[in-house]
Amino acid sequence: MYKQPPKRQQLVKRIFVYMCMVAAVIAAVTFITFFIMGYRLDINNGNVQQYAFLQFNSTPSGAMVSVDGKVTNSNTPNKTSVPAGKHDIVIWRDGYDTWKKSVDVKAGTLTWLNYALLVPKKLNLESVANYKSVFTSLASNKGNYMLVQQYGDKPNFDLINLESDKVKSTSLTIPANVYKDATTAGVTHGFNAFKWDDGGRYVLVSHSYGANSEWLVMDTQSISSTKNITQTLDISVRQINFSDTSGNNFFALDANGDLRKLDLSAGTISKPLVGGVDSFRLYSETKVVTYVGHDSDKKRVVGVYRDGDDKASVLRTFASASYVPVDITATRYFNDNYVAISEGQQVSILSGSYPGTTSDNSRAMKQIESFKVDNGITGLEFSPDGEYVLVKSGSNFTSYDLEYQKVAKSSIEGSSDQVSIKWLNDTYLWSDRSDQLTIREFDGANVHSINAVLPGQAVTITNNGRYLYSIGKSTTGFQLQRVRLILP
């Protein structure tokens, strides 16, 4: 006959079960936590150690990945964990060149290798438009459009839509009533497409007539809506940049060296925002203007002006000779502000809150890195997504990775003194040295020679990564050409 255990015995049993359950939960949570933090059992020595994480992706996706010669379980996009230290990564797919990279990772860190651009082993160059002459070409920021100007003395442009496999070309002519002295005999005119707005609709065009000049904003979707900035606002402009995507608002440097805001729709010119400015740049995402100028003592300075502030802030004053080049540029990366400043061959990188935006000194902008390049600096800029600083020195370049605090130096092969080094996307650069289009990563790795090009012209990759467009020579003149990077 069943006899019920005493209540005390039941209580002890119940407490024991609860303790086991709690212990099991704690053990499971601890295991999961340590697993997420990268701790693994090393079967070679029986020790538990913290691993690092690698995250992979490629264009096109579906590529195989090996780490130190061992193939991972799945194709890109995928991930794996590895012990801290150096590792050799290989990504490949049939029909494409192999992508290789060596990385040195720390325990408990995540390294993104999600930018591998796989280039077909065989590239077929295709002509999509022909021209008798090419004066200049300009690609929109997102690779949706290419603007080709055949002659510098005519207000005629070809707008090429690159959004589909079959390109569409539209002829644009700036109306004669928009620019000065259009019908005046004996006046020599010059037109130059200068810059697209971030929305990919409006283009700033400089127009020279005789010894004079003016700025136009061309509406590529409605050419009759093209406006003359100089005549509308009666202002002499030395430098100008879009401040938004409306085609009406600009930051401009006037003839006196004053930075102002211009509003075409309202017909207004702001008061001087910054004085003594020699040149400026705009980081459009946060509307931060960086500028090179001089103070009241004629000393050179670099500073920042945030749209809406009462005044600008000088970040650095230089005592070096006037022939020593200085520059400044800004970005925002993962919600942090960054500024890069160059003087001669020295580069400084600052991070933190801009002056006047916080009372917390711990968040004030401070120098986080400084390095010297081997040659004189000819260009300073951030990558489109803000992760990398690019320092140009003729055919040489140096990059700094903000996330992993690494400096890399490289050079563009070739013999020509004329060389362009520009961003193709967030991580790849392109160059046209010696009339040859080459692409490579921010650190100089994974170089690919693509095709012959006309130097000094635009190069762009479409938003879906399928085609790479450039300008080259043809048997009858010049052509807009492309290669397919993602095979059908």
Distance CA 230, CA 212 (A): 11
Together in a domain, 324 and 376: yes
Residue 373 lies in a domain: yes
Gap between the Cα atoms of 385 and 333, Å rounded: 7
Residues 17 and 73 in one domain: no
Total domains in the fold of the chain: 3
Dump the DSSP string for 117-160. E--BSS---EEEEEES--SEEEE-TTSSEEEEES-TTS-EEEEE
Task: Report CA dihedral (141, 142, 143, 147) to the nearest 10 degrees.
Answer: -40
Q: What is the pLDDT of residue 14?
A: 72
Please check whether residues 293 and 355 belong to one and the same domain: yes
Which residues of the chain fall below pLDDT 70? 1-12, 27-49, 357-363
- CATH number, position 58: 2.60.40.1120
**87 and 60 share a domain?**
yes
| Amino acid making up residue 143 | G
Same domain as 67, residue 13: no
Closest CA relative to residue 216, chosen from 228, 224, 208, 225: 228
Please check whether residues 4 and 90 belong to one and the same domain: no
Question: Is residue 199 one of the residues assigned to a domain?
Answer: no
Where residue 441 falls (left for φ over 0; alpha for ψ -120 to 50; beta otherwise) is: beta
pLDDT value for 29: 65
What is the C-alpha to C-alpha distance for residues 369 and 379, in angstroms, rounded to an integer?
18
398, exposed or middle or buried, with CB in 10 Å at 0-12, 13-18, 19+?
A: buried
- Which of the listed residues 380, 411, 442 is the one where a domain comes to its end? 411
In a domain, 9, yes or no: yes
Is 286 contained in some domain?
A: yes
Is residue 167 situated within a structural domain?
A: no
Domain co-membership, 10 together with 112: no
Domain annotation covers residue 159: no
The pLDDT value recorded for residue 8 is 67
Q: What is the pTM of this model?
A: 0.90
Element (H, E) at 11: helix 7-36
Asked if residue 56 and residue 21 are part of one domain, the reply reads no
Domain boundary among 345, 378, 411: 411
Q: Mark whether 8 and 102 lie in a shared domain.
A: no
Query: What tens digit of pLDDT does each residue of 298-329 get?
Result: 899 999 999 999 999 999 999 989 899 999 99
Residue 288 lies in a domain: yes
Q: Please tell me whether residues 405 and 331 are part of one structural domain.
A: yes
What are the tens digits of pLDDT across the range 386-398? 999 999 999 999 9
**Final residue before a domain boundary, out of 88, 117, 146:** 117
Q: How far apart are CA 151 and CA 132, in angstroms?
A: 9
Separation CA 182–CA 170 (nearest Å) = 23
Domain CATH for 406: 2.130.10.10
Q: What pLDDT, on a 0 to 100 scale, did the predictor assign at position 356? A: 72
Is residue 399 domain-shared with residue 317, that is, in the same domain?
yes
Residues 8 and 98 in one domain: no
Domain extent for 4: 1-36
Domain-embedded: residue 216: no
